[in-house]
Amino acid sequence: MLRSALALSLMLAACSTPAEVAVDRGARTDLTRPPDLGAGADRGVPPISLPADEAPHEQAAAEWWYYTGNLTTKAGARYGFELVVFQLGVGAKHAYVAHFAVTDPAGARFVHEAKLSTAAQAKAAAGFDLDVEGWRVRGHAGKDQLSAAMPGFAIELALAATKPVVIQYGKGWMTIGSTQPFYYYSYTRMAVTGTLSVDGTPHEVTGEAWMDHQWGEMGYEHQGWDWFSLRLDDQSDVMLFSVRWKNATGFVGGTWVEPDGKATPLAGNDFSVEATGSWSSPHTKRKYPQGWRLKIPARELDVTVTPVLADQEVYKTIATPIYWEGLCNVTGTRGGKPLAGQAYVELTGYPEE
C-alpha cells in the first residue's frame, strides 16, 4: 500500500511504537467513513485516468510500481517474491531504486537485494518500462513482464490481470499529512507464468501476483504503517492498512474486492486487526508484530494471517527505510465455513529495541 520512498527515510528514522499493534478505532471521529478524506470534485483533484496514469509522473515526489506474489514449480515447491521500482525526485531528474526479494519456505531462507540507477528511463509507447541496472518492470493494461536476478534466485515472469483494476479508497486518492493527493490503484489478482531459477537451476512456475501503483506527495507526521493484501480461496481479495501517527492515533482503512472485481472501501469500524505475537530482527534489532487475527464482521470473515518465515525483513536498502515484507498463510472461516488463502504483509517504521 503505502510504500517506502526517499522522502520517507527521514520521517521513519526515529520511531517509538509498541511492537504489539492493534487497530485503534476510538481516537479519531472520521474512522466511520472510508478514508477518501475529502471530495475530489470539490477540491479540483483530478481522478486517476487509465491508461495514461500507468506511466511515470515527473512531478510526483514519490512513485512506485510494486509486485508481490506466490509461485509454484511443477514439482509443487512454493516461493514468494517481491519486485518493486521506486521513482524518487521531482522534475526531469530522478533516481530509481529497485528491491528484489524471494521467500523460500522449504529452504527456510529469505534472500533480497537492492539496486540504484540515476539513468533516464525509456518512455514506453504505452504503460511503463523501467530498468534499474538490469532489473526490469514493464506493463500496460494489466499485462506486465518482470525480470530480475540476484545470487540464488532469478525471475522471468509474465503477468496478466484476471480481475479489473481496483481504484483504491473509492476515489483513487487520499491525503497523508499533506494538502496534495496521494494516488493508488491495484491489480489484486494477476495470473503468473514464467521461470524461477533457484541456485542456477531454472524451474517453470505458475502463480498469482498483486500489483500496486502509487504516486503523489506524503507529509512527515506519520511513523509508519501496517499493510495487508489477502487473496482468499473464494476469489475475494482484501487490502487493509493502519497508518501510525507520531503524536496521535493514525487512521485505518481498506478495500474489499468481490470475485467479480467489484470493490468496496472499508472504514476503520468495518474491521479489526490484532497482532498475536512479535519477532525481533537479528539484523537490525527492530521488533515487529508477527501473526494477526483479522475480522470483517459484515463479510463474516474471521481469519489468522501467519508468516511462512519470521525473518522476511528487507534491510539491504538504498535510500529507503528498512521494512518487513513477507509471504503469509491465511486460515480461518467465512460464514462459519473453512477458508484459506495467501497474503503479503508490509510493516514499516518499527524501532530498534
269-316 per-position pLDDT tens digit: 899 999 999 999 999 999 999 999 999 999 999 999 999 999 999 999
Domain range for residue 135?
Answer: 8-348
The answer to whether position 2 is within a domain reads no
pLDDT digits (tens, 9 = 90+) for 61-108: 889 999 999 999 999 999 999 999 999 886 667 889 999 999 999 999
The answer to whether position 74 is within a domain reads yes
pLDDT of residue 189: 98
Q: What pTM value is reported for the model?
A: 0.88
pLDDT of residue 319: 76
CATH (domain of 231)? 2.40.370.10
The answer to whether position 210 is within a domain reads yes
pLDDT of residue 179: 77
pLDDT digits (tens, 9 = 90+) for 153-178: 999 999 999 999 999 988 898 877 77
The answer to whether position 311 is within a domain reads yes
Lowest mean pLDDT among 10-24, 118-132, 231-245: 10-24
CB-CB contact of 264 with 283 (8 Å)? no
Query: What is the rounded CA–CA span in Å between residue 11 and residue 220?
Result: 5
The answer to whether position 3 is within a domain reads no
**Dihedral sign, CA of 252, 312, 290, 11?**
negative
308: left (phi > 0), else alpha (psi -120 to 50), else beta? Answer: alpha
Query: What is the rounded CA–CA span in Å between residue 47 and residue 103?
Result: 36
The answer to whether position 303 is within a domain reads yes
Q: Report the domain count for the chain.
A: 1
The answer to whether position 1 is within a domain reads no
The answer to whether position 16 is within a domain reads yes
Backbone angles phi, psi at 150, to 5 degrees: -150, 170
